[in-house]
A and B are shown apart, each in its own frame.
Chain A
Amino acid sequence: MLYHLGFIIVSLLIIVIPLLISVAYFTLVERKFMGSMQRRRGPNVVGFMGLLQPLADGLKLFAKETILPSNANIVLFVLAPIITFVLSLMGWIVIPFGEGAVVSDINVGILYLFAISSLSVYGIITAGWSSNSKYPFLGALRSAAQMVSYEVSIGFIIVTVVICAGSFNLSTIVLAQSKIWFIIPLFPMFIMFFISALAETNRHPFDLPEAEAELVSGYNVEYSAMGFALFFLGEYANMLIMSGMTTILFLGGWLPLFDIMPLNLIPGPVWFSIKLSIFVIAFIWARAALPRYRYDQLMSLGWKAFLPLSLGWLLFTVACLISFNWLPE
């Protein structure tokens, strides 16, 4: 019993600590990368070439004063960032980093990830409501509507991949791609999944919830210090988990590019990290390069373009699989 509990705690720490470090360096990569896209240096003062900048930022947020607005609903106001942060950590226990390198290899892993990402709306909407202020409320409503809309097309895309792989288990989905990665037969779905992931994590060009010009900063206007830091960490961990999901669903997870001699000597988790970093860079690239969508355009893209196309492609995939007798198992 005690041994089992200790095993759980150690495995969770093995997941959570590298995750927090990678979130910290994600912010540094974002600032450096955007700096070089905009022909400036980015952070370069704290530490060697600015490498200690995220730690300094974290320390600053930790040392600041937590302000609780007097008209806020205090319980929900305190609870909202905790919900967001915990939900962003919960998804990682089913992500396979390599063959067998997964905390909990459950047989409905992809559904679990989908359920967790659909729960993460609650952190945002309770933050917006409990702040009792108009900008957070508008930001939270926008964000919730956006996330609910794009979840529909994400669901259809996941179903398409699951039908091709024949399992809801993430490791089996990766192993089903050992002949060919799903990015090649399902390329339009891959593009749509990545765009939906941008919308689901409230990133540019779909960052309507925190449109600086209109809503100051959206749902987290009233938060300071650790509350804000938890939202920030949760948001970036969500981006990492969406990148990980794209990698697992379409880019063959830990599998090497070709199963030949020099490439398959590189261990699986390294391949997984390389593929995940591609999407991290793509997230930052989209932020630096693209202007923000208008809200009605965002909704019409989600409901009138992505939903019919993903539904149609699902039917097309099923028809192909049945008519050529390619269904797995």
Chain B
Amino acid sequence: MPNYLFYIFAGISIIAALMVITVVNPVHSVLFLVLVFLSSAGMLFVLQLEFIPLTFIIVYVGAIAILFLFVVMMLDIKVTSKSNDFFKYIPVGGLVGSLFIFEIFNTLSKSFVIPKSTMLVDNFVSWVSTVDKVTNLEALGQLLYTYYFIYFLIAGIILLVAMVGAIVLTLQFNKTVKNQLIFRQLSRSADSAVFLARN
């Protein structure tokens, strides 16, 4: 049963990924991108990982893709003709794509061992986990906060730098714009606001 679900999710994600680049309307293609995210999260759920796909949904679908959709919806949508562009981009795109596929397969075959009999059917029993039950979340936490804490901190610092950079790029010190200060408004009293005008 879970195997069929895995293949269904994988099929949906491949079809949706193809639709992302072939659909004409950019809003539709962002929504298909969301479908890719969701179905790949479903694939991870079937493989009994719970934490990673949920954070994936919260961060990518709940925040990043929303902002994406925001920007695309604001744009003036133009229906571009695809026929000429396709052959113009095919050398560069094909090169990058084939390099990417080669790299992925190279890394996967070196770093993961696939069970001999069938893929995706785990026919070995992990006896350690039957005695000492550690959930997905606990295992991740135990690794992340002990052996790999330095990478965790570095990731945090990189995010902080990116945030500061975004603020610096968008913040404009403009003297002419008058801001409303709620504290100043609330602390205004009759004594400081009402006075007699004398010549």
Q: Name A residues whose Cβ lies closer than 8 Å to a Cβ of B.
A: 1, 76, 106-108, 111-112, 114-115, 118-119, 121-122, 125-126, 129, 137, 141, 144-145, 148, 151, 155, 168, 296-297, 300
- Bound Cα distance A148, B58 (Å): 11
- Bound Cα distance A76, B50 (Å): 30
Would you list the 8 A-B pairs with minimal beta carbon distance, nearest first?
Answer: A118-B62, A115-B57, A111-B54, A108-B50, A115-B58, A115-B54, A107-B135, A129-B73
B61 touches A119 (CB 8 A): yes
- Bound Cα distance A300, B182 (Å): 10
* B20: Cβ under 8 A from any A Cβ: no
A-B pair number, CB within 8 angstroms: 60
A111 touches B31 (CB 8 A): no
Query: Distance in Å from the Cβ of B150 to the closest Cβ of chain A?
Result: 20
Closest to A122 in B: B34
Q: A107-B50, A107-B135, A168-B137 are in contact. Are A119 and B55 (CB under 8 A)?
A: no
Q: For A300, what are the chain B residues with a Cβ–Cβ distance below 8 Å? A: 182
Q: Name B residues whose Cβ lies closer than 8 Å to a Cβ of A.
A: 1, 27, 31, 34, 50-51, 54-55, 57-58, 61-63, 66-67, 69-70, 73, 135-137, 180, 182
- Bound Cα distance A165, B151 (Å): 27
Q: For A126, what are the chain B residues with a Cβ–Cβ distance below 8 Å? A: 31
A125 touches B66 (CB 8 A): yes
- Bound Cα distance A177, B128 (Å): 32
Residue A108 contacts which of B34, B137, B182 (CB distance < 8 angstroms)?
A: B137
A151 touches B62 (CB 8 A): yes
- Bound Cα distance A297, B1 (Å): 51
Given contacts A1-B1, A148-B66, 8 further A-B contacts (CB under 8 A): A111-B54, A112-B54, A114-B58, A121-B66, A122-B34, A141-B70, A145-B70, A300-B182
B58 touches A111 (CB 8 A): yes
Q: For A168, what are the chain B residues with a Cβ–Cβ distance below 8 Å? A: 137
Query: Distance in Å from the Cβ of A117 to the closest Cβ of chain B?
Result: 8
A106 touches B34 (CB 8 A): no
